[in-house]
């Protein structure tokens, strides 16, 4: 059985939500604080019998000295905790991943308690199949023998140290676009968070080769093929062809154009559905909503597990970076805790009171971060994020901007949703655009003397102007990228939000499918 740290989870008793933590091994010692049931991953520092010899069913209570996540230590009785891991140094068995009520164990008996399966003589489960992990090798540049390791995904922060070229087998933990939008040949740099001897650091994609299964980060499964990371495109999960696979032809069939035959008349369109310009087929609301969420999520982070703690939000997390400071993260966590029965949810429950208080110290709580990232893989967390994003942003944008004005184009819907997330749903850009165009507020394009395209173009121009001004003021050129993206879509005339010939839109160097959803 592999060695695993001996650790405890607070279970308590059914009639109480908290457990007392004391200054010594007995109830005669002072209660120093209380902790909620469900707190887990607590390191066991020491075990002592009850100083007063108190017992239950002829068995003396044992007290466990625990290390809590905030750094405090204290004693909890063995009938109030479950334990797991290697307890042999304290006279307990090596339990592995099996959690047992501490009181049910006997110190000095190092035989692990039988599970239901072993008690019945069941065969051990076969080993899980493994996949090739996504790893990086530092290739660097010809001019330098080292590579700068950065604390964030950009060159705006000083390096935390230098790494030698040639280092290989570095685990890829995360991938993020350059925070300042810096690019090469029109392609935004991607930064790789790597596990190194300097800790978890960021290295730019033109300085690393990667191999293994990159699908969790929207790269291909490369197997054992090492490829310079900048030569890959996020969202394109087709492995690049090797020389032997490339076939050169003298002519190519042009990409099939998006068909517009058979489009229903305006009267046939379902109420509330976005229209497409130039007579294209009627759109589904769900397709446009999904596309909008994907675009905004790419600007906000890297998906359901996206996490940062370096801005005013204290902790920003998830698909559209719900923040602890604003309270939206709390709403997401509450929905998740009400829906999930997983061990991750049980452990996260211990943080609920601090989440409600919007506790600033959660910014640097590593266990809280681990639990949020782990929860992101659960359908219950993904559903919670989708629901909060829908209620707080999508529905608010629909009722506040789209429905009163009768806006129909998918591009308008996606732009206004992105602005609602970026600026808050009470922004004044649309009303300012109406004022500048000389039409009544909340009036309907097509009935007020202007077209929807004119209104939305002016809104996007005002937004770009705002981003550009802030970028200039704060010397953050990356802020321009979001405004430029929407202006480019408008200039391309993609009012139906159809993307290129494959249905993709390039968002910060990442291909996002917007048509076939």
Listed in order, strand segments (DSSP E) in 139-249 are 146-149, 161-164, 170-177, 183-184, 187-188, 190-196, 199-204, 208-211, 227-228
Asked if the model's pLDDT at residue 442 lies above 80, the reply is yes
Is-contact 304 329, C-beta < 8 A?
no
Asked if the model's pLDDT at residue 435 lies above 90, the reply is yes
279/198: higher pLDDT: 198
Asked if the model's pLDDT at residue 112 lies above 70, the reply is no
Give 492's pLDDT tier (boundaries 50, 70, 90): very high
Give 511's pLDDT tier (boundaries 50, 70, 90): very high
Asked if the model's pLDDT at residue 255 lies above 70, the reply is no
Look over the chain and give the mean of its residue pLDDT values, rounded to a whole number: 82
Q: Which residues 6+ apart lie within 8 Å of 276 measured at CB?
A: 282, 283, 409, 410, 495, 496, 498
Q: Tell me what percent of the residues of the chain surpass a pLDDT of 70.
A: 84
Q: Which residues 6+ apart lie within 8 Å of 102 measured at CB?
A: 8, 62, 64, 78, 79, 81, 82, 83
Mean pLDDT across the stretch 364-391?
94
What CA–CA distance (Å, rounded) separates 316 from 309? 6
Is-contact 41 347, C-beta < 8 A?
yes
Residue 102: per-residue pLDDT: 92
**pLDDT tens-digit map of 447-464:** 999 999 999 999 999 999
Asked if the model's pLDDT at residue 259 lies above 50, the reply is no
Domains for the chain: give ranges and CATH numbers. Answer: 7-107 (2.30.30.40), 135-231 (2.30.30.40), 277-304+377-513 (no CATH)
Mean pLDDT across the stretch 262-283?
40
Give 243's pLDDT tier (boundaries 50, 70, 90): very low
Asked if the model's pLDDT at residue 23 lies above 60, the reply is yes
Residue 438: per-residue pLDDT: 96
Is-contact 243 150, C-beta < 8 A?
no
**pLDDT tens-digit map of 69-89:** 767 788 999 999 999 998 888
Mean pLDDT across the stretch 462-483?
89
What CA–CA distance (Å, rounded) separates 117 from 95? 15
Give 274's pLDDT tier (boundaries 50, 70, 90): low
Residue 109: per-residue pLDDT: 62
Residue 110: per-residue pLDDT: 59
- pTM, two decimal places: 0.52
Residue 475: per-residue pLDDT: 86
Candidate from 2-11, 153-162, 289-298 with smallest mean pLDDT: 2-11
Candidate from 209-213, 250-254, 255-259, 439-443 with smallest mean pLDDT: 250-254
What CA–CA distance (Å, rounded) separates 400 from 296? 19
Greatest mean pLDDT range, 16-25, 184-193, 290-299: 290-299
Mean pLDDT across the stretch 351-372?
95
Give 111's pLDDT tier (boundaries 50, 70, 90): low
Closest Cα to residue 236, out of 504, 508, 515? 504
Give 169's pLDDT tier (boundaries 50, 70, 90): confident
Residue 366: per-residue pLDDT: 95
């Amino acid at each position: 059985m592999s060695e695993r740290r001996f650790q405890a989870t607070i279970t308590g008793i059914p009639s109480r939500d908290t457990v007392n933590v004391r200054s010594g091994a007995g109830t005669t010692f002072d209660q120093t604080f209380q902790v909620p049931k469900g707190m887990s991953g607590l390191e066991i520092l020491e075990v002592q019998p009850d100083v007063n010899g108190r017992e239950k069913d002829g068995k003396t209570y044992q007290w466990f000295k625990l290390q809590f996540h905030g750094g405090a230590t204290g004693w909890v009785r063995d009938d109030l905790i479950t334990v797991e891991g290697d307890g042999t140094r304290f006279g307990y068995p090596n339990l592995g991943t099996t959690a047992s009520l501490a009181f049910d164990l006997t110190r000095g008996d190092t035989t692990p308690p039988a599970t239901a399966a072993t008690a019945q003589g069941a065969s051990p489960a076969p080993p899980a199949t493994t996949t090739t992990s996504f790893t990086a090798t530092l290739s660097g540049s010809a001019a330098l023998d080292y590579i700068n390791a950065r604390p964030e995904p950009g060159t705006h922060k000083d390096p935390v140290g230098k790494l030698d070229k040639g280092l290989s087998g570095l685990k890829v933990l995360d991938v993020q676009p350059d925070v300042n939008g810096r690019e090469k040949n029109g392609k935004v740099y991607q930064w790789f968070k790597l596990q190194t001897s300097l800790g978890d650091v960021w290295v730019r994609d033109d300085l690393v080769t990667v191999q293994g299964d990159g699908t969790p980060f929207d790269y291909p499964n490369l197997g054992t093929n090492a490829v310079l990371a900048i030569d890959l495109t996020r969202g394109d999960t087709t492995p690049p062809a090797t020389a032997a696979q490339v076939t050169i032809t003298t002519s190519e069939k042009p990409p099939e154009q998006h068909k517009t035959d058979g489009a229903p008349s305006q009267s046939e369109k379902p109420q509330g559905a976005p229209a497409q310009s130039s007579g294209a087929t009627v759109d589904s609301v769900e397709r446009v909503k999904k596309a909008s969420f994907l675009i905004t999520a790419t600007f906000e982070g890297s998906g359901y597990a996206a996490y940062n703690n370096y801005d005013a939000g204290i902790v920003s997390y998830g698909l559209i970076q719900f923040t602890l400071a604003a309270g939206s993260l709390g709403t997401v966590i509450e929905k998740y805790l009400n829906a999930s029965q997983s061990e991750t949810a049980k452990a996260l429950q211990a943080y609920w009171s601090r989440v409600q208080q919007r506790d600033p110290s959660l910014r640097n709580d590593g266990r809280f971060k681990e639990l949020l990232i782990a929860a992101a893989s659960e359908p219950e967390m993904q559903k919670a994020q989708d629901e909060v994003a829908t209620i707080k942003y999508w529905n608010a944008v629909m009722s506040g901007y789209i429905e009163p004005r009768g806006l129909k184009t998918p591009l308008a819907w996606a732009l206004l949703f992105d602005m609602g997330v970026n600026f808050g749903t009470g922004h004044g850009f649309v009303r300012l655009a109406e004022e500048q165009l000389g039409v009544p507020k909340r009036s309907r394009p097509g009935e007020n003397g202007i077209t929807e395209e004119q209104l939305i173009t002016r809104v996007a121009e005002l937004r770009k102007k705002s981003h550009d001004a802030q970028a200039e003021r704060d010397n953050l050129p990356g802020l321009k990228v979001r405004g430029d993206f929407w202006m480019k879509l408008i200039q391309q005339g993609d009012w139906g939000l159809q993307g290129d010939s494959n249905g993709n839109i390039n968002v910060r160097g990442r291909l996002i499918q917007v048509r076939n959803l």
